[in-house]
Amino acid sequence: MFEAFSEFSTSLSSSYPLLWALFVMAVVAVISLVLFFFWEAIFRLLPAISPFGKGRRVQ
């Protein structure tokens, strides 16, 4: 699997540099969106599961 991906990436980057650049940009964009939505969900869930959340009184 690693050898196949390595061969694919070297052939794509040497043969089609513009396509390779667009592929890298697309991967970075997808990863950034996934991380954004992941952390957005985490930060929205934290107050709900926190023992010191809004409206709770500690006695």
Residue 32 pLDDT: 99
- Report the residue count for the chain: 59
The whole-angstrom separation of Cα 56 and Cα 18 is 56
Residue 59 has pLDDT above 90, yes or no: no
What per-residue string of b and e applies to 5-24 under the rule 16 or more CB within 10 Å gives b? eeeeeeeeeeeeeeebeeee
* DSSP-assigned letter for residue 55: T
Place of tokens 């690693």: 2
> pLDDT digit string (tens) for 2-57?
898 888 888 888 899 999 999 999 999 999 999 999 999 999 998 888 777 565 55
User: For position 54, what pLDDT does the model report?
Assistant: 61
Question: Is residue 11 helix, strand or coil?
Answer: helix
